[in-house]
Amino acid sequence: MSDQATRTAGGVTLPRHIDWGPHYVYELADEADFRLMYERVIREAQTRDDLNAYLHTASLRQVWRDLFLPLPVKTSWETRFPELREPGTTAAAASWTNCSIG
């Protein structure tokens, strides 16, 4: 994930391979839309580029506990990124800049 390249405000329409439902613009200023978009990206992303394009590292850490994700998905992410397990972690996650699927 690239903190500088990823938007955290405005409207986002996800590509069909991530969000295959009705056309929807996620308003990132709206907390519910923001979380819903992150949930969809985490569950449906197919490549690292998908993750880098739509997830913002600091924002993900802030909302992680509020995301509704299947337990195997959440466990996999927390295994790969242990800083997500600990609320309020900042130092350890500061160097976290890349995600990978799998």
pLDDT in tens, 18-70: 998 888 999 999 999 999 999 999 999 999 999 999 999 999 999 999 999 99
Bigger pLDDT: 93 or 48?
48
Report the predicted TM-score, pTM, of the whole model to 2 decimal places: 0.76
State which H helix or E strand residue 11 sits in.
strand 11-12
Rounded Cα distance between 57 and 44, Å, is 18
Q: Is the pLDDT of residue 102 over 50?
A: no
Bigger pLDDT: 44 or 95?
44
Rounded Cα distance between 46 and 91, Å, is 29
pLDDT band at 87 (very low <50, low <70, confident <90, very high): low
